[in-house]
Amino acid sequence: MNDLVLFMVAWLKSPAATGAIVPSSAALASAITQEISLTTGPVLELGSGTGVFTRKLVQNGVAPKDLTLIECNPGFADRLQATFCEARVLRMDARLLDSASLYTPSSGAGAVVCGLPLLAMPRTDVAVILRGAFRQLRADGAFYLFTYGPRCPIRKATLERNGLCARRMCTVLANVPPANVYKVMRAGALGGSDQNSNVDNRLR
């Protein structure tokens, strides 16, 4: 079964959990991983699916052994393990990240790449996933996500409560549907201006 068929089967079984009817495009994969390279360190990927973003991460120089792939769909997880045999593939719900010990205190992830359909998820689940992801990140680490909506899918209040800020990096038209890519970091670590006025949020 090729990746497209596998993805469509998953969508038919659970549209909300899959988020799209076809995998993300190569253009979106390039956009969301553009700042990640060999020097980033360990990378945590959420909702790896068929591995579109994972392949690009490896092409960017990230060693497969430095990849931790979170995927709860058994078919996707099996495909990922077979394709990226040196990567750590965890068949788990991303909402459990807050209680997971994936890294030592001195070796947190340098980046999180999120392929989860955050726009279609309950706000409480998004907040739990975000908090868990930042628990796994180094102090200077970044959380990269994409959305099909016009604004960041993480509420401003959620960012503020967690001492985070978000900035839109780019819009990818060569994707079905077109997508916006965002970068989320701890407040004070992200410079420049933000399309959604979240860049200057501070911890309350």
Closest residue by Cα to residue 74 from 138, 16, 17: 17
* Span 40-68, average pLDDT: 97
Mean pLDDT, rounded, of the chain: 87
Say if residue 86's pLDDT is above 80: yes
pLDDT at 65: 97
Domains of the chain: 24-186 (3.40.50.150)
What confidence tens digit (pLDDT) does each residue in 64-84 have?
Answer: 999 999 999 998 999 999 999
Say if residue 1's pLDDT is above 80: no
Q: Residue 182: in which H helix or E strand, if any?
A: strand 179-186
Say if residue 193's pLDDT is above 60: no
pTM of the model: 0.85
* Span 9-15, average pLDDT: 53
* Span 170-187, average pLDDT: 96
Say if residue 104's pLDDT is above 90: no
Look at the block and give the residue holding tokens 């993805």: 7
Q: Residue 105: in which H helix or E strand, if any?
A: none
Quick one: 36 exposed, middle or buried, by C-beta within 10 A (0-12, 13-18, 19+)?
buried
pLDDT at 202: 31
Cα distance between residue 5 and residue 119, in whole Å: 24
Return left, alpha or beta for 35; rule: phi > 0 is left, psi -120 to 50 is alpha, else beta.
Answer: alpha
pLDDT at 39: 95
Sign of the dihedral defined by the CA atoms of residues 107, 113, 116, 122, in that order: positive
What confidence tens digit (pLDDT) does each residue in 136-157 have?
Answer: 999 999 999 999 999 999 999 9
